[in-house]
């Protein structure tokens, strides 16, 4: 609780910037965890640091891929082409918004249908996944396929959730 007060209070008062506040909060949490409360021995620090860096590498890889994809879309002028295509259909703004909503609804329905059918097939093909006692820690979560991680944000979240569970992914 005091960590949030340090971060928000330090930024509001003007003692440090948000980045400096985050660094100070990490140092404060380190001191409190290892020296005041002694919740974890100092020997486990290397293991905790390694686990944190693995998760950081996953998140930074997702950010790098998204940044490269955004650059590619901008370089190929996809937003301009999509705008021209949509405005060639109609110039009425309300009808245009309605068509965009219908398109997003169709994409969402196909995404939900695909995720539910593929996860059901994956859970049936793994021993022990029905009761949650097999090699996979969650009953209805299967490891995401590489394509799922690239296309859907839930794939990355599921991957991070698996990493935090402490079990091997593959």
Q: Where are the domains of the chain?
A: 1-39, 45-165
pLDDT of residue 118: 53
Is-contact 156 58, C-beta < 8 A?
yes
Is-contact 137 116, C-beta < 8 A?
no
Q: For the chain, what percentages of helix, strand and coil (3-state, to nearest 5) are there?
A: 75, 0, 25
pLDDT of residue 117: 56
pLDDT of residue 119: 52
Kindly give, in sequence order, each residue whose CB lies less than 8 Å from that of residue 51, ignoring residues fewer than 6 positions away: 163
| Separation CA 170–CA 168 (nearest Å) | 6
| Separation CA 147–CA 71 (nearest Å) | 20
Angle 18-31/2-13 helices, nearest 10 degrees? 150
Q: How many residues does the chain have?
A: 170
pLDDT of residue 108: 84
Other CB atoms within 10 A of residue 51 CB: 14
Exposed / middle / buried, residue 133 (Cβ in 10 Å: 0-12, 13-18, 19+): exposed
Q: What is the pLDDT along the chain (170 residues), one digit of tens a residue?
A: 788 888 898 999 999 899 999 899 989 989 998 899 888 888 898 998 999 999 999 999 999 999 999 999 999 999 999 889 988 998 898 999 999 899 888 888 877 766 665 554 444 444 444 444 444 444 444 444 444 444 444 444 444 444 444 554 44
pTM above 0.75, yes or no: no
pLDDT of residue 1: 76
């Amino acid at each position: 609780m005091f960590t949030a007060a340090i971060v928000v209070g330090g930024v509001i008062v003007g003692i440090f910037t948000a980045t400096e506040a985050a660094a100070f909060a990490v140092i404060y949490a380190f001191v409190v965890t290892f020296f005041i409360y002694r919740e974890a021995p100092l020997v486990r620090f290397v293991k905790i640091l390694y686990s944190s860096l693995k998760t950081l590498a996953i998140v930074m890889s997702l950010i790098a891929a998204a940044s490269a994809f955004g650059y590619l879309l901008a370089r190929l002028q996809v937003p301009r082409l999509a705008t021209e295509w949509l405005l060639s259909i109609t110039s009425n703004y309300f009808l245009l918004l309605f068509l965009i909503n219908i398109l997003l609804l169709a994409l969402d329905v196909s995404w939900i249908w695909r995720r539910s059918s593929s996860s059901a097939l994956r859970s049936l093909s793994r021993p022990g996944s029905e009761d949650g006692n097999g090699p996979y820690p969650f009953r209805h979560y299967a490891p995401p396929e590489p394509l799922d991680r690239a296309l859907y944000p839930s794939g990355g979240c599921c991957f991070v959730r698996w990493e935090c569970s402490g079990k091997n992914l593959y």
